[in-house]
Chain A
Amino acid sequence: MSKGSDEIVYGLKRDYLEKISSKGTRIDGRSPTEYRPIVITPNYVLRAEGSADVKLGKTRVLVGVKIEPGEPFPDTPNQGVLTTNAELIPMASPTFEAGPPNEDSIELARVVDRSIRESKMIDLEKLVITPGEKVWIVYVDIHVLDYDGNLIDASQFGAVAALLNTTVPGSRYGLEDFSLPVNHVPVITTFVKIGKQLFVDPSLEEEEVSSARLSIATDENGNIVAMQKGLSGSFTQEEVYNAIDKSIEIGKDIRKRLFGR
């Protein structure tokens, strides 16, 4: 069997969602730009340097931050290091397999990483202990606990929430503890295209039947800091511009609501 039975979508579910999408209606009654309820619990793991538990509808993601001293990259001797990793554990969904990271988990980690890195959220230059020799390395680990669609947004919100509440554990290495220096707060918004309509925060059902996906991360100044397009479908130029405008708007709301910034 090339595809597991859970990965094959009921054909009529696809037809139905496409049919109702033409009126801008969604299967769970949300408006096209409405998120499911988001609950973030920062400092969820007490022994981690920073952490957050994110519930986005029924999707649940746990993000942990670990900080250790280590060697900088040779081309950036005066900067700390950011490493992001995502794990799609089989507990979260029947379609997730154990084993080495696959395409989806690598994409998830890279998109979250890109939004944090390219927004210059973390002031990496303040994470230097001895230039060229010793810097702080920030590990962001994303664990997906329950999968009901839109992992990118849930993971990104979790990573941002965790980093905002992270303490660099200097005292453990004979230095001083300090809060992780944060400059910006990037927020990502994911759209999917069903039929000819765009919807934010797709549920699993919507993700399954969507033809294309677009994630846009914006910072508090309305700059686009990262983008990712997924799946094989296409967007028109107008759709992309609309999505950008909406993502800035939604980003502002979420930044205020979730992170108080």
Chain B
Amino acid sequence: MDLSKKIVLPGEEIDINGFKQGNGLYFEDGKYYSYQLGLIQVYNNFVNVIPLSGKYFPSKNDKVIAKVIEIAPSFWVLDINSPYPAFLHVNDTPWKPASGELGKILNVGDTVYAKINEITESRQIWLSIKEPGLRKIEGGHIITVQPSKVSRIIGKGGSMVNMIKESTGVKIQLGQNGVVWLDGEPEKVLEVIKILKFIEEESTASGLTDAVRSRLEKSR
């Protein structure tokens, strides 16, 4: 039986067919059931249920785009579009501000591209920007998409997002949490926003890359 691309309802039984139990499933009385409304995906011998929509659920080493919502004496509190706030300690940044002067580096409303460094047992999320590529984001525009659709927007090996970047000349940075940073000409940015919304809506369709390519060519 082809498990992939089947949409399941919460509580629907899933025959995992010799594969291992992945995310979004639970085990009861010898059977597997789905936790959420989502799409079945088989990956590396694991069966996962990818939710059709919902908040971002953080996992370690994800790269996210985060917004500063509060400043504490030695760390910042950030919103990562998840049920829990995230924290960024000064020691996990390349900067060394004097104590109590964190606001001079990152103020409320500022945006950073960060990595999820650690998730404690009590679901405290600690971020880090001490890695090449991670930084404070300046300029450009921010939009949000469904976090579960981010991998579809990236495409296999980045094929989809690279195609959009090349065709429109817009700089795109995707956070796993569904926050997307765009920088370029306003008309082109608008074009990219429309294409991202199109991918989001049609994410279950097959031949999506071709559909996006033809849209990109038409708009040129």
A1 to B140, CA, bound (A): 28
Within 8 A of B (CB), among A1-15: 1, 3, 5, 8-15
A3 to B79, CA, bound (A): 12
Q: Quick check: is B108 within 8 A (CB to CB) of the other chain?
A: yes
Residues B108 and A8 in contact, CB atoms below 8 Å apart: yes
Residues B67 and A5 in contact, CB atoms below 8 Å apart: yes
Q: Quick check: is A91 within 8 A (CB to CB) of the other chain?
A: no
The closest CB in chain B to the CB of A7 belongs to: B69
Known contacts A5-B85, A10-B109, A10-B111; is-contact A20 B138 (Cβ 8 Å): no
Residues A8 and B111 in contact, CB atoms below 8 Å apart: no
The closest CB in chain B to the CB of A11 belongs to: B109
Residues B79 and A8 in contact, CB atoms below 8 Å apart: yes
Determine which residue in B79, B181, B186 has the highest number of CB atoms from chain A within 10 A of its CB, and name it.
Answer: B186
Q: Quick check: is B9 within 8 A (CB to CB) of the other chain?
A: no
Q: Quick check: is A99 within 8 A (CB to CB) of the other chain?
A: no
> How many residues on chain A are close to B (CB under 8 Å)?
19
Residues A23 and B186 in contact, CB atoms below 8 Å apart: yes
Residues A28 and B190 in contact, CB atoms below 8 Å apart: yes
- Name the prevailing secondary structure of the B interface residues: mixed
Q: Quick check: is A258 within 8 A (CB to CB) of the other chain?
A: no
Known contacts A12-B138, A16-B141; is-contact A29 B67 (Cβ 8 Å): no
Q: Map CB proximity to B onto A3-46 as digits: 1 under 8 Å, 0 otherwise.
A: 10100111111111100100101011100000000000000000
Q: Least Cβ distance of B109 to chain A in Å?
A: 4
> How many residues on chain B are close to A (CB under 8 Å)?
20
Q: Quick check: is B21 within 8 A (CB to CB) of the other chain?
A: no
A5 to B142, CA, bound (A): 15
Residues A20 and B109 in contact, CB atoms below 8 Å apart: no
A230 to B69, CA, bound (A): 25
Residues A13 and B142 in contact, CB atoms below 8 Å apart: yes
Residues A27 and B190 in contact, CB atoms below 8 Å apart: yes
Within 8 A of A (CB), among B148-185: 181
Besides A11-B107, A12-B137, A12-B139, 17 more A-B contacts (Cβ < 8 Å) are A5-B67, A5-B79, A5-B85, A9-B109, A10-B109, A10-B111, A12-B110, A12-B111, A12-B142, A12-B181, A15-B139, A16-B139, A17-B141, A20-B186, A25-B187, A27-B190, A28-B190
A-B contact pairs, 22 of them (CB 8 A): A5-B69, A5-B79, A5-B85, A8-B67, A8-B79, A9-B109, A10-B111, A10-B142, A11-B109, A11-B110, A12-B111, A12-B138, A12-B139, A12-B141, A12-B142, A12-B181, A14-B109, A16-B142, A25-B186, A25-B187, A27-B141, A28-B190
